[in-house]
Structure 1
Amino acid sequence: METTVKIFDTTLRDGTQGEGVSLSVEDKLKIAQKLDSLGVSYIEGGWPGSNNKDIEFFIRVKELKLSNAKITAFGSTRRKDSLAENDPNLNRILEVGVQAAAIFGKSWDFQVHTAIQTTLEENLNMIYDSVRYLKSKGLEVIYDAEHFFDGYKSNPEYALATIRKAEAAGADWIALCDTNGGSLPHEVSKIVTAVRESVNTPIGIHAHNDCELGVANSIAAVMAGASQVQGTINGYGERCGNANLVSIIPNLQLKLKYHLISSEQLASLSSVARYVSEIANMHMPVNQPYVGSAAFAHKGGIHVSAILRDSSTYEHITPELVGNKQRVLVSELAGQSNLVFKAQELGLDFDTTNSQTKQLIEQIKQMEHQGYQFEGADATLELLMRNAYGKLEEIFSLESFKIMVAKSVNQPVSTEAIVKVKVHGETIYNAAEGNGPVNALDNALRKCLLQYYPGIQDMHLSDYKVRVLDDKDATAGKVRVLIESSDFDSSWSTVGVSENIIEASWHALVDSMRYALLTQTRAAHQPEEHRERIGLVNH
């Protein structure tokens, strides 16, 4: 029988303490809905005693029809030398009407003396009174034993005394926190084992990633007996972040056979990770384990030859188990096997003896010689290959574009782009302003296409890189522009090369929009006539 481990997600609270992460109430509501669909057991929504935004979230989240998660409010134990019944933070938790509360208290004698400046005995009273009070009001209480591992190393008797007080007061869970993120897996395992022998209350683990061991420490804790894991999506959090649930979940479920979520929910993991990164406006690393776009990407020709025979030769799991997919990168370092694999993936008849294939190989070689690089631009490569085999028609064609940049004294630079394109034989003309030439072109092209392809509004440019290919030519040198684009489900990259940075950007921008429309139609399983309209044509 599988052992069940509960997921406690604190992306909306601890995750927002990470540098650059800021979520509106609307953002938090969207993420909460996504976390619930993933199968998370607890969603920590914030600290209602700290700000009005969190209070609004707790009010509005009641409108969501959640099927898996308990909305949880965060707070601290009562203040020293006071009554829990009179504590404003504890009462604010009760006022927002949540099912569960996570409150933290001190486990480290050093923190008791230095941070809250009270006696060890009063700290024990603070823990007991706070847990007892919330339990008396019918809440499920998760007691977060802050700095527990550091406290245990310093004074194990007192650290254990703090969690025994929480247990005596009726805590439903005791979460052991590696708050400074400095513990090692063997220490976590040893200490969790000792705790399991000292208390009967179910144990949770709350790890931080300051030694890049948040995931490893969480797994070590579960193997030692913890049955709740706290963390954040993509590891967002203060300093170096929290333990990354996106890695913890598949490691525990696929590698160690614990049960956390259903297989269907696990298959949505990649899309959830990308969705949260989009909402948080945080760039998602391509090499993020399990869910990154490069997590199952192969470049070396020998590797690709092997995975064509059996993917387990160079992949530790089947990518689809976590909602990801296998990718093969095509570059001048790769062998013919890479193109064979890519063609098979796209359903193309890649026969090295036919003229289409020979022309395609020659075209790729010529473009690479000019400065194109396809290993980081899989969308451009797919469009190129589909076009070579007659599987792609141009959805629009450029007639002209003009960019005007103006700068006046004491005035910011203004940029306007005018784009004229032909769509289905009709000439469309639009102008738009932007923060710069590429942004203005992007906005103007969208305005031209939106009336025909409304789905284009769901994608946006998430990254823009420029590289000068020949330094000796200085500002006259050829440049390569790489554009990464995203929607709520996926991301893709396109490339353009030219001596003119605007032209290179235009090529990458056009490919990005063409690919977005192609993938949207594939996902929607539209009729043949609609597929032809956006450029995916079957002959």
Structure 2
Amino acid sequence: GWPGANPKDVQFFWKLKEEPLKQAEVVAFCSTRRPNMSAAEDRMLQAILAAGTRWVTIFGKSWDLHVTEGLKTSLEENLAMIRDTIEYLRSQGRRVIYDAEHWFDGYKANRDYALKTLRAAKDAGAEWLVLCDTNGGTLPDQVSQIVRDVIKELNVKRLNVEGSNLPYGNAKGEQPANLQPANLQPANLQPANLQPPNLQPMLGIHTHNDSDTAVANALAAVSEGACMVQGTINGYGERCGNANLCSVIPNLQLKLGYSCIEDNQLARLTQASRLISEIVNLAPNDHAAFVGRSAFAHKGGIHVSAVAKNPLTYEHIQPEQIGNQRRIVISDQSGLSNVLAKARSFGHDLDKKDPACREILERLKDLENEGYQFEAAEASFDLLMRDALGYREHPFELKGCQIHCDMLQGVRKPYSNSVATIKVSVNNQDILEVAEGNGPVSALDAALRKALVNFYPEIAAFHLTDYKVRILDGAAGTSAKTRVLVESSNGEQRWTTVGVSSNILEASYEAVVEGIEYGLLLESSAKTPLSNSPALKER
């Protein structure tokens, strides 16, 4: 965070003083002092000191174009700004990470001046020099060459690479500067044992993904000797994002042999990725490398058969190493191997000679020909298998449903009001209920749960978490078939069901009903345990 940049960041650092972190250390961030003033006079640097962090990150200009056109100052003044800022912060007891902004563009435009900016930071006592590809336009081979040149010219510490039995070699690094968690010190207390300037700082890398090479660039820099990677979980960041730590960490640790985190921490990487997605309120990327739901998904029959015999045939690592799991995808391309693997993953004991296997496969292909797709609706596929195996339980029977929608004129624009009337039978008892919603699907879901909650109280915890619609044959216009995917949750688990019809309400009706049925199946003493079912997603 940047203390003093806005009220939110100021409040953030004050909160951290009251409740220091135990597993991480916050680093305050700021630019070098402004031109033609002393560091002590710069109010942004005073805000950094008030934040009370042990480490600070200062960014400065590396590209002469930014100095003369952006800052409107001289090249010599920029060097003084870097030097003065770091020396001042060190005199106040802070340890400094220097981020060389636009480093790679600056190096390409004026190598000598770019190197002078790093020397200024090094001589002033920065313990880390971080090369930033701020525009995200540099390619991996360029990163390698430039990092190699920096290490040669500035005599910075680098990781020592040694061979090992790992397929891509091993690396053992020297101990970096102490970045272990420590309580934030109050702003009015300064460390008494300020260390002398580190004559041999460590090198870091900060990449952006504008050329889709942020991870590759970070790996290239580390391979040349960089010891710090600045990135984000899931690659979140401005424009196209930053280096994705969910890819950087397993690549460094599992492919290149660097020790980044403990193995038990690595095994929680997928969990961390999905937690951060929830916090920022963005849907997880199912196709993300390593941590995506499809990262270890297998669809073709030959692939599935081979993976069942030896996962190494189609998997570059064991999914459990990063907390992910293998997933067998069911589609009209599936063979018996897929059906058997998927059935076993759900806990259904099937043999390839069992006639039910062929029946499931035929049903699957017929339904997908009609527009159904079970790759993302594994709860519906589990119900299909239970039906074929003869032990699908129907906790309720649908008797009928009617949905009425009104378009009403509001103060500024029209709005809709939907009412659903539903009739169901439970244990030979008919129930008729009516419910309103802000749309037909919302009203349908509310009416169905209202009708069933007295018989199944657990339904009170069910709710829809996602609703997706896809037109399957757009050329047919308004008579086109529609596929609806509904994601439901009971607060702890999520599952997805599918419905298909030329009537969007019928498709929604089917998906919602199966979603509630599957939720009840989770809560019941069903024949097959579902706690590890692949139809379930971690919340």
Matched residues in 1 for 2:432 and 2:529: separation? 18
Question: What does 1:11-50 correspond to in 2, within 5 Å?
Answer: 46-50=1-5
Q: Secondary structure at the match of 2:37?
A: coil
Distance 1:77 1:294, change over 3 A: same
Aligned residue identity for 1:260: C
- The structure with the largest alpha-carbon Rg is 2
Question: What does 1:496-535 correspond to in 2, within 5 Å?
Answer: 496-515=499-518, 531-532=525-526
Matched residues in 2 for 1:391 and 1:407: separation? 44
Q: Percent identity?
A: 47
Q: What's the counterpart of residue 269 of structure 1? A: 269
Larger mean CA deviation between 343-352 and 227-236 belongs to: 343-352
Larger mean CA deviation between 500-509 and 209-218 belongs to: 500-509
- CA-to-partner distance for each residue in 1:246-271, whole Å, 9 max, x for gaps? 11111111100111111111111112
CA contact (8 A) 2:62 2:103 kept: yes
- CA-to-partner distance for each residue in 1:15-72, whole Å, 9 max, x for gaps? xxxxxxxxxxxxxxxxxxxxxxxxxxxxxxx222221122222233455563331112
Aligned residue identity for 2:327: R
Q: Secondary structure at the match of 1:403?
A: strand
Q: What's the counterpart of residue 78 of structure 1? A: 33
Question: What does 1:80-99 correspond to in 2, within 5 Å?
Answer: 80-99=35-54
Matched residues in 1 for 2:425 and 2:2: separation? 52
- 1:320 and 2:320 equivalent? yes
CA contact (8 A) 2:205 2:221 kept: yes
Distance 1:181 1:516, change over 3 A: farther
Shift of 1:460: 1.5
Matched residues in 2 for 1:368 and 1:489: separation? 30
- CA-to-partner distance for each residue in 1:121-153, whole Å, 9 max, x for gaps? 111111122222222333332111101111112
Q: What's the counterpart of residue 478 of structure 1? A: 481
- The structure showing larger relative contact order (alpha-carbon pairs under 8 Å, at least 6 residues apart) is 1
Shift of 1:308: 1.2
- CA-to-partner distance for each residue in 1:432-451, whole Å, 9 max, x for gaps? 422x3234444555676595
Aligned residue identity for 1:195: V
Matched residues in 2 for 1:210 and 1:179: separation? 9
- 1:385 and 2:385 equivalent? yes
| Structure 2, gaps ≥5 residues long | 157-199, 533-539
Q: What's the counterpart of residue 35 of structure 1? A: none
- 1:464 and 2:419 equivalent? no
Distance 1:328 1:532, change over 3 A: closer
| Structure 1, gaps ≥5 residues long | 1-45, 522-529
Distance 1:157 1:358, change over 3 A: closer
Larger mean CA deviation between 188-197 and 144-153 belongs to: 188-197
Question: What does 1:132-531 correspond to in 2, within 5 Å?
Answer: 132-197=87-152, 198=154, 199=156, 200-389=200-389, 393-394=393-394, 398=398, 401-409=401-409, 411-418=413-420, 420=422, 429=433, 431-434=435-438, 436-442=439-445, 451-453=457-459, 455-456=461-462, 460-461=465-466, 464-469=468-473, 471-472=475-476, 474-484=477-487, 493-515=496-518, 531=525
Shift of 1:536: 5.4
TM-score, structure 2 normalization: 0.80
Q: Secondary structure at the match of 2:405?
A: strand
CA contact (8 A) 1:396 1:421 kept: no
Shift of 1:241: 1.3
Shift of 1:515: 4.9
Distance 1:400 1:76, change over 3 A: farther
CA contact (8 A) 2:29 2:56 kept: yes
Q: Secondary structure at the match of 1:408?
A: strand
Matched residues in 1 for 2:9 and 2:321: separation? 35
Q: Secondary structure at the match of 1:376?
A: coil
Matched residues in 1 for 2:525 and 2:432: separation? 21
Q: Secondary structure at the match of 2:408?
A: coil
Matched residues in 2 for 1:164 and 1:468: separation? 61
Shift of 1:89: 1.4
Q: What's the counterpart of residue 119 of structure 1? A: 74
- CA-to-partner distance for each residue in 1:136-186, whole Å, 9 max, x for gaps? 333332111101111112222221221222222222211110001111111
Q: What's the counterpart of residue 189 of structure 2? A: none
- CA-to-partner distance for each residue in 1:225-248, whole Å, 9 max, x for gaps? 111101112112222111111111
CA contact (8 A) 1:456 1:517 kept: no
- CA-to-partner distance for each residue in 1:307-341, whole Å, 9 max, x for gaps? 11111111111111111111112122221111011
TM-score, structure 1 normalization: 0.80
Matched residues in 2 for 1:253 and 1:386: separation? 42
Matched residues in 2 for 1:318 and 1:71: separation? 33
CA contact (8 A) 1:391 1:536 kept: no
- CA-to-partner distance for each residue in 1:277-327, whole Å, 9 max, x for gaps? 222222333221111111111111111111111111111111111111111
Matched residues in 2 for 1:129 and 1:396: separation? 75
Matched residues in 1 for 2:336 and 2:104: separation? 53
Shift of 1:420: 5.0
Matched residues in 2 for 1:205 and 1:392: separation? 55
Q: What root-mean-square deviation, in Å, do the aligned CA atoms of Structure 1 and Structure 2 show?
A: 3.1
Aligned residue identity for 2:56: A
Q: Secondary structure at the match of 1:101?
A: strand
Aligned residue identity for 1:231: G
Shift of 1:372: 1.4
Q: Secondary structure at the match of 2:121?
A: helix
Distance 1:487 1:211, change over 3 A: farther
